[in-house]
Homo-oligomer: A and B are copies of this chain.
Amino acid sequence: MAYRSTERVKARLSASRERIIAAALAIMAGHGYAGCSVAAVAERAGVATGSVYRHFPTKAHLFAEVFRTASQREVDAVARAAALEATAADQVSAVVETFSGRALRSPRLAYALLAEPVDPAVDAERLTFRRAYADLIAGYVAAGVASGELPPQDPELTATALVGALAEAMVGPLAAGVAGPATIPDLIRFIHRALGVSP
Contact = CB atoms under 8 A, between A and B. Distances in A.
A125 to B, nearest CB: 12
Interface residues of A, number: 38
The oligomer's copy count stands at 2
Interface in A168-199: 168-169, 171-172, 175, 183, 186-187, 189-191, 193-196
Contact of A160 (B116, B154, B172): B172
A193 B164 CA distance: 16
A26 interface: no
A143 interface: no
A34 interface: yes
Interface of A: 34, 116-120, 123, 127, 130-131, 151, 153-154, 157-158, 160-169, 171-172, 175, 183, 186-187, 189-191, 193-196
